A and B are shown apart, each in its own frame.
Chain A
Amino acid sequence: MPFFTNSSLGMILPIIFLLSSFDAQPIKAQTLKIATLAPEGSGWTEALHRIDQRIREATNDSVQLKVYAGGIQGDEPVVLRKMRIGQLHGGGFAGPSMSQILPDILALQLPFLFRDYSEVDFVLENTKDLFSKRYRKRGYVNLGWADIGFVHLLSQVPISTLGDIQSHPVWRLEGEPITEILFRLGNVYSAPLTIPDVLLGLQTNLVSVVYASPAAAIVLQWFSRVSYINELPINFALGAFLLSDRAYNSIPEAYRQTLRAISEEEMRALSLEMRRENVEALSVLQSNGVQINKVSALDLNTFEELVQETVEELLKGPMPPDTHSQVQTLLEHFREEKRDKTNAN
């Protein structure tokens, strides 16, 4: 099977240790154990397999990946624990673990932050060094961002105003700080559920409003229990391929940059694929009877005011102000330049 490798890190490390006292020994194979919740055949695992193949070719099999797909190594918190004790070396992360690993991520996850992909790309490109340093401080190396996509409200009844949301039970991802504050300030009744419990929550009417990217709404089967998707994206969700600092440093220095370059390239390809999938997903949702509904401009202002209050509270808590400030400044510059270009034309 393609994601199996032949050598065991547990067996190799003592050998490397024994050989380290001799000069000019050939570099031994380094197998990086990578876990992801994404099942085999998904875009995520395909990207990881491509990285494995390319890094093997580039390093004459000196560096390779063993991919544990489909959550067989446990959920994201378990994978993180295993990374800390060296049982795993890295993983694909996309859930609430993202901001638990690095709270700076909250500055990228704020509601209504990005208007389109050009803004996403500009900010990610220009904060690469910042996030890279912050991850290293926490003991991780970011080998590439990957889009989950713009997140939309999915509901059993049409949702157009804050009043609509206040009248229905809304799902909130357990342990996720932004929605916890946002819904509290907006007087929205929210039920904290883990992702696996949401489908049952929709089936039993424990919640009637949830949120996800269009592709995730299909993969998680939530679309089968809702009738509407709101046209307005409420935020942008991001994943990352993270390696433990220790594992990264154990790779021969000559190969570290190669691994980073290959991974970033493949993660970028994955992001573009996810963007295409989310467009397709929106059309699949419609062909499965899910209708699109809109938010009026007036209500958008109400939502934005609520988000501003949420940001203020987040800044007093988990979200680092400097990261938030840098992201906001970048976005302002980008929008100004865009306006100038439009006016010039």
Chain B
Amino acid sequence: MTSNFPFLLPIHKWVSSIRLSKIKKGLILAVYIPALLSFSCGTIKVWTAKSLMEDVEKATLKSTDPELVTESMPTLLLLLETLLNEHPTNSDLLLKATKAYTSYGTLLQYKETQKARKQFNRARQLGQAAFERDSSIYRLLNASYAEFTSISTHLEASDGPLVFWLASSWGSWIYTNTGSLTALADLPKVIFLMEWVIEWNESYEHGAPHLFLGAYYAALPPMLGGNPHKSLHHFDRSEEISQGKALLVPTMKAQYLARQTFDKTMHDSLLNSVVNAPETLDSPLLKLQNELARNIAHQLLSESDAFFY
């Protein structure tokens, strides 16, 4: 497992339905998507693709096979890129593509950091491109930090989802790119945006903004800006918002906070609670995320003795 795990992102949406059999899914990928691409009317294509994606998104959340979802993602991304080629300013498409690339990067990052970084970078580019519709915001995204902070006077509630996904992808890109000072210099902006998201709606995506900041404050040593107390606060808030149903919360708390504070008891206890959580109790919309959490928890537990030795 890579040690460069990005800030946690909810594992989502997108891609193949696990409710469907693999054969049915294969049919969708092989027949339905090419059929979509053959439509001549751009509007119909966008509308149909959007409809397909929403169906797929709902179904994917109930998936219990992260690997299968990962394998299916490139097809969806190809579809999105094709549509974006024809409709480069379509806000809805840009948001969906930002989410899709971020989610794909998150699924990849455990095994293929380099490849994950590319997805996060593409997501970040698309997220920024989505703000081209507002020249003030777009300019501030690339301004100095002192100027950038006035972005909050331009952002509106309707920008919330895009701000979250842009900050998520941007933060994950930085975290998989720590060798680049140019990337690191963007970090204060990402934290600012995620704090704005918390002000806007701290419960978004089952409390994911808090999870992001929980991981951020734990991932760095205090000397470099980390803060275990703030981390704990954000993890706890995320736990409260998700009512203990999102297993990625204790998993990430173990991976970041317990490891950073070198607390093996906390680490193993949190991870054991994740691996022992019965699948039957999973909330339908958290099945994929929880399955991924179990996989990570198993991996982290297997490394525990070596890490804390």
Residues of A bordering B, CB below 8 Å = 1-6, 8, 37, 39-43, 66, 69-73, 75, 95, 195-196, 199, 215, 218-221, 223-225, 227, 277, 280-281, 284-285, 287-290
Most buried by B among A199, A218, A287: A218
Contact of B181 with A284 in the complex, beta carbons under 8 Å = yes
Contact of B262 with A73 in the complex, beta carbons under 8 Å = yes
Enumerate chain B residues within 8 angstroms of A69, measured Cβ to Cβ.
3
Most buried by B among A2, A43, A289: A289
**B306 close to A (CB within 8 Å):** yes
Known contacts: A75-B223, A196-B225, A221-B225. The answer to whether A41 contacts B185 by CB under 8 A is: no
Enumerate chain A residues within 8 angstroms of B303, measured Cβ to Cβ.
1, 4
Contact of A71 with B223 in the complex, beta carbons under 8 Å = yes
Contact of B220 with A39 in the complex, beta carbons under 8 Å = yes
Contact of A284 with B182 in the complex, beta carbons under 8 Å = yes
CA distance A72 to B259 in the complex (A): 7
Taking the closest CB of chain A, its distance from the CB of B1, in whole angstroms, is 6
Q: List 26 A-B contacts (CB under 8 A).
A: A1-B1, A1-B3, A1-B307, A3-B3, A4-B306, A39-B220, A41-B3, A42-B179, A66-B309, A69-B3, A70-B221, A71-B221, A71-B224, A72-B259, A196-B225, A199-B225, A218-B185, A219-B224, A223-B145, A225-B145, A284-B181, A284-B185, A287-B182, A288-B144, A289-B143, A289-B144
The 5 closest A-B pairs by CB, nearest first: A289-B144, A71-B221, A41-B178, A224-B145, A4-B306
Contact of B1 with A196 in the complex, beta carbons under 8 Å = no
Taking the closest CB of chain B, its distance from the CB of A220, in whole angstroms, is 6
**B241 close to A (CB within 8 Å):** no
Digitize B150-192: 1 where CB-to-A-CB distance is under 8 Å, 0 elsewhere: 0000000000000000000000000000110110110110000
CA distance A93 to B224 in the complex (A): 14
CA distance A43 to B181 in the complex (A): 12
**B89 close to A (CB within 8 Å):** no
Report the contact-size class of chain B (Cβ under 8 Å from the partner): 20 to 34
Known contacts: A4-B306, A70-B260. The answer to whether A195 contacts B181 by CB under 8 A is: no
CA distance A162 to B261 in the complex (A): 42
Enumerate chain A residues within 8 angstroms of B309, measured Cβ to Cβ.
8, 66
CA distance A42 to B4 in the complex (A): 11
Taking the closest CB of chain B, its distance from the CB of A26, in whole angstroms, is 22
Known: A72-B262, A220-B224. 13 other contacts (CB 8 A): A1-B307, A2-B3, A37-B223, A37-B224, A70-B260, A75-B221, A218-B185, A219-B224, A221-B187, A225-B145, A281-B181, A284-B181, A289-B143
Contact of A40 with B4 in the complex, beta carbons under 8 Å = yes
Contact of B181 with A277 in the complex, beta carbons under 8 Å = yes
**B11 close to A (CB within 8 Å):** no
Residues of B bordering A, CB below 8 Å = 1, 3-4, 143-147, 178-179, 181-182, 184-185, 187-188, 219-227, 259-262, 303, 306-307, 309
CA distance A2 to B226 in the complex (A): 23
- Our pick among A8, A71, A280 for the contact of B222 (Cβ within 8 Å) is A71
- Which B residue's beta carbon lies closest to that of A36? B221
Taking the closest CB of chain A, its distance from the CB of B110, in whole angstroms, is 11
CA distance A273 to B179 in the complex (A): 11
Most buried by B among A4, A40, A71, A95: A71
- Which B residue's beta carbon lies closest to that of A223? B185
- Our pick among B143, B146, B224, B260 for the contact of A72 (Cβ within 8 Å) is B260
Contact of A227 with B146 in the complex, beta carbons under 8 Å = yes
Known contacts: A72-B260, A218-B181, A224-B188. The answer to whether A195 contacts B223 by CB under 8 A is: yes
Known contacts: A40-B4, A72-B262. The answer to whether A215 contacts B181 by CB under 8 A is: yes
- Our pick among B3, B145, B227, B261 for the contact of A289 (Cβ within 8 Å) is B145
- Our pick among B184, B227, B259 for the contact of A219 (Cβ within 8 Å) is B184
CA distance A221 to B185 in the complex (A): 7
Taking the closest CB of chain B, its distance from the CB of A11, in whole angstroms, is 9
Contact of B224 with A288 in the complex, beta carbons under 8 Å = no
Enumerate chain A residues within 8 angstroms of B146, measured Cβ to Cβ.
224, 227, 289
Known contacts: A3-B3, A39-B221, A42-B178. The answer to whether A288 contacts B185 by CB under 8 A is: yes
CA distance A221 to B303 in the complex (A): 32
Taking the closest CB of chain B, its distance from the CB of A202, in whole angstroms, is 12
- Which B residue's beta carbon lies closest to that of A43? B179
Contact of A70 with B220 in the complex, beta carbons under 8 Å = yes
Enumerate chain B residues within 8 angstroms of A8, measured Cβ to Cβ.
309
CA distance A196 to B229 in the complex (A): 13
Taking the closest CB of chain B, its distance from the CB of A3, in whole angstroms, is 7
- Which A residue's beta carbon lies closest to that of B263? A72
Most buried by A among B188, B226, B262: B188
Contact of A39 with B181 in the complex, beta carbons under 8 Å = no
- Which A residue's beta carbon lies closest to that of B146? A289
Enumerate chain B residues within 8 angstroms of A3, measured Cβ to Cβ.
3
- Our pick among B185, B262, B307 for the contact of A4 (Cβ within 8 Å) is B307
Taking the closest CB of chain B, its distance from the CB of A198, in whole angstroms, is 10
- Which A residue's beta carbon lies closest to that of B191? A221
Enumerate chain B residues within 8 angstroms of A289, measured Cβ to Cβ.
143-147
Taking the closest CB of chain B, its distance from the CB of A67, in whole angstroms, is 10
CA distance A75 to B261 in the complex (A): 11
- Our pick among A39, A196, A277, A280 for the contact of B219 (Cβ within 8 Å) is A39
Most buried by B among A1, A40, A70, A73: A70
CA distance A323 to B179 in the complex (A): 36
Enumerate chain A residues within 8 angstroms of B185, measured Cβ to Cβ.
218, 223, 284-285, 288
Enumerate chain B residues within 8 angstroms of A5, measured Cβ to Cβ.
306
Contact of B178 with A196 in the complex, beta carbons under 8 Å = no
Enumerate chain B residues within 8 angstroms of A42, measured Cβ to Cβ.
178-179
Enumerate chain B residues within 8 angstroms of A196, measured Cβ to Cβ.
222-225, 227
Enumerate chain B residues within 8 angstroms of A290, measured Cβ to Cβ.
144
